């Protein structure tokens, strides 16, 4: 139960696990971004969930085609980052000004909201920024120095001029032959079975 | 003027300087409502103003201050709309083309506002302490050395001349932006966008400077001893927030109650208007707080007295409400994506922010008149009465022309605009 949950969370970040036969998934190459976009949409409509598209540049409409939706998580982590920053600033101003080292400066109160607001504002913005970056990294499963797709020689072209769709073996519907057939029908020019035994030196 | 767009007679020039170009508008962009759309708000407004005038007979000072707040509310909103339009032209923004005509309808307001401002001239003695002659007589017990020092600037002839100058400047800028855009509807001259941009280029500094001085002359001088150099920006920040809210509200009204512009103004445009509402809420708070914090830090009596008054005798509740309802609540409501794309929430927030802008001006102005906080019924009738007339004139203009600049070269981009 917990194991499946962790697998699902990792899959939502694009980190898929190999199946019992150490098959990581199918890597299909498509001739151009338009075909890749249509293939991603068709793959989603076939019921696949554990798949990802790879291209040298962002493709307009890919989020909708893959059914990714709006990344609410980044907004939420930004908001709570901001709240944390706000609370930190309140504590910082109060503790340094009124508790740890009270100084009488031209008769002003040791702690007051007015001079603290710029600190609250700045720390809210700073921590909201941290929250946004941390949320973005976490939801993308980054940083991720190791990806089994790197074993494919053709995949090197993904940063240059090649377009790939990867369907993970962890998907419930995955079947090496059936899925390959579907991908070929969608216009894949090359299909490759990627294996991963989880050992970095293989 | 080109033959295709004609001028009106002098009286209706106040409301719309152009003859109707309704017949040339594409069917999808035509206002289909009947004359009730402008007559009802106009008559309601006129009725409320008559009631206010009757109340003013009894309580002239309450009337004049309430009228000043209501009138300034409309003036700042129109000026905010003018600057909003100017910076969209200057940045060649394409997303906003579909809401430009509503904005253009909003900014042709200055001749009418000048006329609606005439009653204030009868209340100069109540509104502006610096108009009292005995302040400047060294033998009088009311002699005021500080105001005597400001007399070269604060005197009725110069004040009146300045206001005429401001209105002339705003009228010229808005006349060009409004009429050039409407002319484009009938005559798709490719030079018009460049003319709109160049007008915006000189119109921006002209409007910015005159707006700042107008804020000193109209509002700040009601408390002539007090001064704030950020007051012009404060005046602008509330006005542009109100203007964006008005644009969003009018667009939503046209769509939801009129069934117009279906598929023309979309959720994507509302989200952007919502972003501006959110952004200017924060901007207003930033400016309002900057003004307060510097005076709090300085602690100089002649500067803090203005805020001290607003933190006593019931006014402290107005100040607290301003922080909470003009900043915290709209900030949290408009922060996520969904409310900006939900028409019910966005229209509630638009009405809310328009109301808060009035409340803000009420908080700035009325403490000069009254020692203790609260409202007088005239505050509401004057505000809503003037707003009714203003809204009637806005709907009248919208009804006479295409609801969007139908020949603008960026229209296609605007129609297909999507937030990423």
Q: State how far residue B293 is from chain A, nearest Cα, in angstroms.
A: 6
- Distance CA(A137)–CA(A139), nearest Å, equals 6
End-to-end CA distance of chain A: 31
Tell me the pLDDT of chain A averaged across its residues: 87
User: Mind listing the pLDDT tens digit for each residue in A87-129?
Assistant: 999 999 999 999 999 999 888 899 999 999 999 999 999 999 9
Map tokens 């139960």 to a residue.
Answer: A1
Q: ω into residue A167 within 30 of 0, thus cis?
A: no
H/E segment holding residue B254: helix B231-256
- Strand-pairing partners, residue A57, are none
Q: Taking a C-beta distance cutoff of 8 angstroms, is the pair B84, B275 a contact?
A: no
Tell me the pLDDT of chain B averaged across its residues: 91
- Work out whether strand A190-195 and strand A163-168 pair parallel, antiparallel, or are unpaired: unpaired
- Distance CA(A196)–CA(A18), nearest Å, equals 6
pLDDT for residue B1? 41
In eight-state DSSP terms, residue B42 is H
Cα→Cα distances B24→B29, B186, B400, Å: 10, 6, 10
Q: What share of chain B is helix, strand, coil (3-state, %, to 5)?
A: 75, 0, 25
Count of Cβ atoms closer than 10 Å to residue B358 Cβ:
23
Write the residue in B293, B335, B336 that is nearest to A117 by C-beta: B293
Domains of chain A, by residue range, sit at 23-66+148-195, 72-140
Write the residue in A106, A117, A118 that is nearest to B299 by C-beta: A106
- Distance CA(A115)–CA(A86), nearest Å, equals 14
pLDDT for residue B8? 62
Mutate to test the interface with A, among B268, B282, B289, B342 (most CBs of A within 10 A): B289
Residues within 8 A of A (CB atoms), B 336-365 only: 336-337
- Distance CA(A48)–CA(A15), nearest Å, equals 15
User: Mind listing the pLDDT tens digit for each residue in A157-187?
Assistant: 888 889 998 888 888 888 878 888 888 888 8
Query: Above 70 in pLDDT, residue A200?
Result: no
> Which of B314, B293, B411, B409 is CA-nearest to residue B367?
B314
> Which of B210, B211, B155, B223 is CA-nearest to residue B365?
B223
Tokens, residue B34: 């009947």
- Categorize the per-residue pLDDT at B26 as very low, low, confident or very high, splitting at 50, 70 and 90: confident
pLDDT for residue A201? 56
- Distance CA(A186)–CA(B6), nearest Å, equals 60
**Which strand ranges, in their side-by-side order, compose the sheet holding A23-30?**
A51-54, A163-168, A23-30, A190-195
Tokens, residue B164: 């005429």
Chain B, nearest residue to A62 by Cα: B420
Q: State how far residue A26 is from chain B, nearest Cα, in angstroms.
A: 30
Q: By the CB < 8 Å criterion, does A115 face chain B?
A: yes
- Strand-pairing partners, residue A25, are A168, A194
Farthest CA pair distance, chain A:
80
Q: State how far residue A153 is from chain B, nearest Cα, in angstroms.
A: 33
- Distance CA(B377)–CA(B52), nearest Å, equals 9
Query: Angle between the B377-400 and B60-90 helix axes, to the nearest 10 degrees?
Result: 40
Cβ of B297 within 8 Å of Cβ of A114? The answer is yes
Q: State how far residue A150 is from chain B, nearest Cα, in angstroms.
A: 30
CB contacts, 8 Å: B335 with chain A: 79
Q: Taking a C-beta distance cutoff of 8 angstroms, is the pair A148, A196 a contact?
A: yes
Regarding an ipTM greater than 0.90, the answer is: no
Model confidence, pTM: 0.89
What topology is assigned to A23-66+148-195 in CATH? Alpha-Beta Plaits (3.30.70)
Q: CA angle, corner B118, sides to B115 and B123, nearest 5?
A: 160
Q: Taking a C-beta distance cutoff of 8 angstroms, is the pair B403, B31 a contact?
A: yes
pLDDT for residue A202? 47
Map tokens 């309802």 to a residue.
Answer: B325
Cα→Cα distances B123→A94, A150, B235, B382, Å: 49, 80, 22, 14
């Amino acid at each position: 139960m917990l194991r499946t949950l962790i697998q699902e969370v990792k899959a939502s970040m694009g980190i898929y696990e190999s199946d019992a036969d150490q098959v990581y998934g199918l890597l299909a190459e498509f001739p151009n971004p338009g075909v890749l976009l249509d293939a991603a949409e068709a793959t989603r409509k076939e019921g696949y969930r554990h798949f990802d598209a790879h291209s040298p540049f962002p493709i307009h409409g890919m989020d909708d085609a893959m059914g990714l939706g709006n990344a609410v998580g980044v907004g939420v982590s930004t908001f709570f980052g901001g709240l944390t920053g706000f609370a930190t600033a309140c504590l910082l101003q109060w503790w340094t000004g009124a508790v740890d080292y009270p100084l009488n400066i031209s008769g002003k109160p040791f702690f007051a909201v007015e001079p603290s607001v710029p600190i609250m504002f700045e720390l809210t913005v700073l921590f909201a920024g941290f929250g946004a970056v941390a949320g973005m990294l976490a939801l993308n499963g980054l940083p991720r120095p190791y990806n089994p797709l790197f074993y494919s020689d053709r995949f090197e072209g993904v940063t240059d001029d090649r377009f790939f769709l990867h369907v993970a073996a962890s998907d419930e519907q995955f079947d090496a032959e059936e899925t390959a057939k579907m991908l070929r029908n969608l216009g894949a020019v090359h299909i490759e079975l990627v294996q991963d035994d989880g050992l970095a030196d293989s | 003027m080109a033959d295709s767009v004609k001028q009106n007679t002098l009286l209706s020039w106040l409301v719309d300087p152009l003859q109707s170009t309704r017949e040339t508008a594409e069917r999808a962009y035509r206002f289909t409502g009947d004359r009730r759309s402008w007559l009802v708000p106009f008559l309601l407004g006129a009725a409320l103003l008559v009631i206010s005038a009757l109340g003013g007979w009894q309580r002239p000072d309450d009337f004049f201050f309430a009228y000043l707040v209501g009138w300034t509310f409309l003036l700042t909103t129109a000026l905010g709309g003018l600057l909003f339009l100017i910076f969209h032209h200057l940045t060649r923004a394409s997303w906003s083309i579909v809401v430009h005509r509503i904005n253009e309808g909003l900014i042709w307001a200055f001749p009418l506002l000048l006329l609606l401002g005439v009653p204030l001239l009868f209340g100069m003695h109540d509104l502006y302490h610096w108009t009292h002659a005995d302040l400047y007589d060294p033998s009088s017990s009311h002699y005021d050395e500080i105001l005597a020092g400001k007399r070269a600037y604060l005197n009725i002839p110069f004040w009146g001349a300045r206001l005429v100058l401001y209105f002339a400047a705003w009228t010229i800028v808005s006349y060009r932006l409004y009429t050039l855009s409407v002319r484009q509807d009938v005559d798709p001259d490719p030079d018009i966008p460049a003319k709109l941009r160049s007008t915006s280029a000189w119109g921006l500094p002209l409007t910015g400077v005159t707006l700042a001085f107008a804020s000193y002359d109209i509002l700040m001088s009601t408390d002539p001893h007090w001064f704030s150099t950020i007051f012009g920006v404060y005046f602008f920040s509330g006005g542009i927030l109100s203007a964006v809210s008005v644009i969003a509200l009018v667009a939503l009204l046209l769509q939801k109650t009129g069934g117009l512009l279906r598929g023309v103004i979309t959720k994507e445009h509302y989200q952007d208007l919502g972003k501006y509402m959110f952004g200017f809420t924060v901007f207003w708070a930033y400016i309002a707080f900057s003004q307060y914090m510097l005076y709090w830090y300085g602690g100089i009596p002649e500067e803090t007295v203005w805020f001290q008054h607003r933190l006593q005798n019931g006014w402290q509740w107005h100040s607290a409400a301003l922080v909470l309802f003009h900043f915290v609540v709209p900030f949290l409501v408009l922060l996520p994506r969904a409310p900006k794309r939900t028409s019910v929430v966005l229209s509630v927030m638009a009405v809310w922010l328009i109301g808060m802008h009035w409340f803000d001006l009420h908080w700035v102005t009325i403490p000069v008149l009254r020692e203790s906080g609260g409202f007088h019924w005239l505050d509401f009738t004057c505000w809503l009465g003037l707003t009714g007339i203003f809204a009637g004139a806005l709907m009248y203009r919208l009804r006479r022309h295409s609801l969007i600049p139908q020949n603008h070269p960026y229209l296609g981009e605007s129609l297909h605009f999507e937030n990423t």
